Amino acid sequence: MDTLLIDGGRPLRGIVPISGAKNASLPILIGTIVAPGEHRLANVPDLVDTSSMLSLLGRIGCPSLVGDVTRIDTSRVAFCEAPYDLVRKMRASVLALGPLLARCGEAHVSLPGGCAIGVRPIDQHLKGLEALGCRFELEGGYVHGRVDKLRGTEFRFDCVTVTGTENVLMAAVIAEGTTVLENAAAEPEVEDLAAFLSGCGARIEGAGTSRIVVHGVPTLRPPPTAHRILPDRIEAGTYLVAGVITQGNVRCEGVRPSDLAPVLDVLRTAGAQIECGEDWVSAGADGRVRAVDVETAPHPGFPTDMQAQLMALLSLAKGSSRVKETIFENRFMHAAELGRLGAQIHIEGNLATVTGQPHLSGATVMATDLRASASLVLAGLAAGGRTEILRLYHLDRGYERLVEKLRAVGAEVVRGQEGRPKFAVNAAVA
């Protein structure tokens, strides 16, 4: 099992190129089946999750070719199933529901089950699709969906759900009539999916806000030019925190600064030095930051996907911070691992109180989920001594070329093998 070995305590300085957004790529990749034909997508990140989604497309009968431009042929769909062996590896496979119902009138998708950060139900996905005329049965751990004719509707989500909004949107685009979605997710990744679908001929207004209006069209076709996936704001936020926590300065290039606004506001409040250009953002510090209180919220609030990374930074802040997680019920697992590095974090329900320390010191820690892993990397980069992070596969799901990008800004980091001796006897004394 791969591990990451970090010799921390070095200020990181330099430029990090930001990859395409994982959470925009996943809905857009599967969304290609709503528009039969040859699709071309630029800036798709090379991640375990995007590979899993391309495998799912292959299983459905849509071959693909990855490269600078990823090509997917959705001219034919042979199967309308997202099997358990794929869904259990990547819960975002549930995004196959809307597109399969839109394309085939039926869908058989394994229930994703929970994950480390929470139960992750899909009741809102099903309610929204039912409002469009779909019928579902749950049997054998699968959701079996059918629809004769998708009809426009007015639907209000009971809670803001990113993939729920995306699933319903991908069916509504070819429903007969107009669909109005209230309390929809306003994340930039939803907006990028809508931009892709509009490029295929869909008629969508209000994407990126909580009210999305869709005028259904009979058919969609691949966009005439390649759709370029928007930059990953969470990857960028992670590297910006790396610049601040190591008291260096990191510049992320190829980003949309407006997508990072809630993260930049918090970093500025903490005393980080932030600069923005048209498509770049830099962040740094020349000392410990100040404690800040943060509450996660749907966009344009502070993103839950940056909560763990911020907690690593606050572990070294001057003073005590309160971090409230309002999106997921179990997204503080990184706290115990940060504690092994010397962080002082007290958890009470969905509120974490972080008492900043002057230093952290390296240790072996274990990743539990994607963003918790990123948090441990950040803490390891700032901690004195060596940190080894186990279960690296979590990181490989969401961070493209992580070691290469970190080494380019001065980090001492290598991939290791769990259990391999790390400390060779010094030949001189052997």
What residues line the site for ligand EPZ (CB under 6 A)? Answer: 22-23, 26, 92, 118, 120-125, 159, 161-164, 304-305, 327-328, 370-371, 398
Say which DSSP state 230 is in: P
Q: How far is the CB of 120 from ligand EPZ (least distance, A)?
A: 5
Backbone angles phi, psi at 198, to 5 degrees: -65, -35
Q: Of the two residues 78 and 119, which places its CB atom closer to ligand EPZ in the complex?
A: 119
Residue at token pair 């980091």? 413
| Omega within 30 of 0 (cis) for the link into 36 | no
Q: Of the two residues 25 and 249, which places its CB atom closer to ligand EPZ in the complex?
A: 25
Q: Of the two residues 124 and 321, which places its CB atom closer to ligand EPZ in the complex?
A: 124
Q: How far is the CB of 370 from ligand EPZ (least distance, A)?
A: 5
Q: Of the two residues 190 and 200, which places its CB atom closer to ligand EPZ in the complex?
A: 190
Q: In which element (H, E) is residue 10 found?
A: none
Q: Of the two residues 153 and 304, which places its CB atom closer to ligand EPZ in the complex?
A: 304
Give CA separation, 199 vs 40, 97, 202, 204, in Å: 12, 21, 7, 10
Q: How far is the CB of 126 from ligand EPZ (least distance, A)?
A: 7
Give CA separation, 180 vs 194, 205, 266, 287, 349, in Å: 14, 10, 33, 49, 35
Q: How far is the CB of 152 from ligand EPZ (least distance, A)?
A: 21
Q: Is the CB of residue 196 less than 8 Å from the CB of residue 224? A: no
Q: What radius of gyration, in Å, describes the C-alpha atoms of the chain?
A: 22
Instruction: List the beta bridge partners of residue 348.
Output: 351
Q: How far is the CB of 428 from ligand EPZ (least distance, A)?
A: 46
Nearest to 302 by CA among 338, 340, 341, 331: 331
CA 132, CA 33: separation in Å to the nearest integer? 18
Which of the following is catalytic: 80, 104, 115, 276? 115
Q: Mutual orientation of helices 22-31 and 188-199 as an angle, nearest 10°?
A: 30
Q: How far is the CB of 235 from ligand EPZ (least distance, A)?
A: 10
> What distance lies between CA 241 and its chain's CA centroid?
16
Residues 6+ apart with CB under 8 A from 20: 42, 43, 44, 45, 228, 229, 230, 231, 232
Is 115 known to be catalytic? yes
Q: Of the two residues 117 and 313, which places its CB atom closer to ligand EPZ in the complex?
A: 117
- Return the active site residues: 115
